[in-house]
Amino acid sequence: GVIRSYDFTISRGILAPDGYEREVLLINGAFPAPLIEANWGDTIQVTVHNHITHPEEGASLHWHGLLQKGTPWQDGVPGVTQCPIAPGESFTYQFLADMYGTSWYHSHYSGQYSGGLFGPMVIHGPQSQEYDVDIGPVLLSDWYHDDYFSLVEQTMAANSTPVVADSNLINGKMNFNCSSIAHKDATPCVSDAGISKFKFRRGKTHLLRLVNSGAQGLQRFSIDGHKMTVIANDFVPVEPYDTKVVTLGIGQRSDVLVKADGDLEAYWMRANVSRICGRNHNPDAVAAIYYDDAKEDEEPKSVASDVPDPGSCANDDLDLTRPLMKMELPEPDLIIDMEVRLFTNGSGVKLWSLDGVSFRGNYNSPTLLLSNLGNLTFDEEWNVRIIQGAKSVRVHLINNTTVPHPMHLHGFNMYILAEGEGEWDGRINHPENPQRRDVFQVRRHGHLVMQFDAAENPGVWPFHCHIAWHASAGFFIQFLTGHEVVETMRIPNVVAETCRQWAKWTHTNIPA
């Protein structure tokens, strides 16, 4: 493969994606951030300059869903694989495009990505199904008028009110009704910011690369008058199945094929945030699809498909989703039971815990660098679980809360063995070829049983809820796999350099 090089400058700028002006985190001046595109087997190289000002803050970029086999230090997780990139400093990521399909990249520094630091990533590989037109990424993201740090604070406060999205965006666009806030807010706002528009060619089959790149909401995506054929979930091609609605938790992707066989000239595509599974007032998003020569200044007149929200807050039925490339489930040699809880600590702060610990980030000495030095004693609040010798690890997760969660594992595709309400009945879904994904929803008061082949990828790999503020408030565990291999890894000096730069910056900026 060849090297695909990108030069990214991160900054803060005033932007109004939905018409309401706010400070947005940008890459090379753009929101959403630029597309990263490569062929399977290529090397992707991204030099990141942290030019964030007013205020300055750390940053990092994570390449969601790539395995980083042999390069765990390129995973982009501050406190786990590197220190944050300090303001004014740069860091060059270089890693293999080791999976193919649709994904995204995003900051992994606190809840920062929800302030705008995310972009699409497409890795071209073998085509499992025929299509005529690649429409490209369709990013669905709930959007907030407040900065991410105040939202994180808001969710953790003792008397916290749930965070409600102000908008829902498709590829960074949607119209916001400014009159709903004008009386109490002097922020510049226009009600006709504009929506995203797509072209369809009549009779042709189109590939849409759906990504939930939001902060909190479970998206339900549909196109009026059309059915969709799902051909991949996350980075895993599946046996095609038809549906009128695709459900995507945060971080999840689905590649869908859509045949332009409608009677009208224009249609709405819709991204509805599940109200039952989230909050009552979440706004929806639309974008327009125009066939051939349809007039793009006219709004589509199509009517929404009848796709009632089942309210389960679950992904598509596991029975529907069979990977095309068959992989049998190995016997696990370690079974871990863990529970998710929400609690209020002694200071009245609302926190999440996973496996009995509410994770607290350790930005100054990343777990991977410590393990590389043979130091395996970690503070309890870092929530590191050392996987000793096990080849395949089964995790039996109990969600003891009233909220559904998109659970994400780094470094592996999880085998999804079971998911459902209440307790697990012990039944494994298609052990001869279970669904594999890197994010899977667990419903409220439900269970998720997944497994991963730990021995195949030595490193430190977070398993966390992908809701921006849940991860920031402790819903995060790190699996240290193959520590004897990690000890012999030759981690480039530039990784430790991020820590020297970060220490220098924090020393100047946070006087003791």
List residues near ligand C2O by CB under 6 A: 62, 64, 106, 108, 251, 408, 410, 462, 464, 466
Q: How far is the CB of 105 from ligand C2O (least distance, A)?
A: 8
Q: How far is the CB of 127 from ligand C2O (least distance, A)?
A: 25
Q: How far is the CB of 383 from ligand C2O (least distance, A)?
A: 14
Q: How far is the CB of 410 from ligand C2O (least distance, A)?
A: 6
Q: How far is the CB of 236 from ligand C2O (least distance, A)?
A: 16
Token pair belonging to 155: 């969710």
- Kind plus residue range of the DSSP H or E element containing 483: helix 483-488
Residue 78 or 262: the one with the smaller Cβ distance to ligand C2O is 78
- Single out the residue of 123, 117, 83 nearest to residue 103, CA to CA: 123
Residue 396 or 466: the one with the smaller Cβ distance to ligand C2O is 466
Token pair belonging to 88: 């004014």
Residue 217 or 262: the one with the smaller Cβ distance to ligand C2O is 217
Q: Please enumerate in sequence order all residues whose Cβ is within 8 A of that of 379, keeping only pairs 6 or more positions apart, or say none.
A: 362
Residue 148 or 176: the one with the smaller Cβ distance to ligand C2O is 148
CA distances from 226 to 168, 402, 498 (A): 22, 34, 49
User: What whole-number distance in Å separates Cα of residue 252 and Cα of residue 304?
Assistant: 23
Q: How far is the CB of 481 from ligand C2O (least distance, A)?
A: 16
Token pair belonging to 239: 């046996």
Residue 232 or 468: the one with the smaller Cβ distance to ligand C2O is 468
CB 60 within 8 A of CB 107: yes
Q: How far is CA 283 from the centre of its chain?
A: 20
Q: In a 3-state reduction of DSSP, which class is residue 367?
A: helix
Q: How many helices (H) and strands (E) does the chain have?
A: 5, 30
Residue 447 or 466: the one with the smaller Cβ distance to ligand C2O is 466
Residue 226 or 408: the one with the smaller Cβ distance to ligand C2O is 408
Residue nearest to ligand C2O (CB): 64
Token pair belonging to 468: 């921006």
Q: How far is the CB of 63 from ligand C2O (least distance, A)?
A: 9
Q: How far is the CB of 24 from ligand C2O (least distance, A)?
A: 19
Residue 206 or 466: the one with the smaller Cβ distance to ligand C2O is 466
Residue the block writes with tokens 């009677």 = 263
Q: In a 3-state reduction of DSSP, which class is residue 18?
A: coil
Alpha helical stretches, state H, 303-346? none
The pairing of beta strand 439-442 with beta strand 405-409: antiparallel
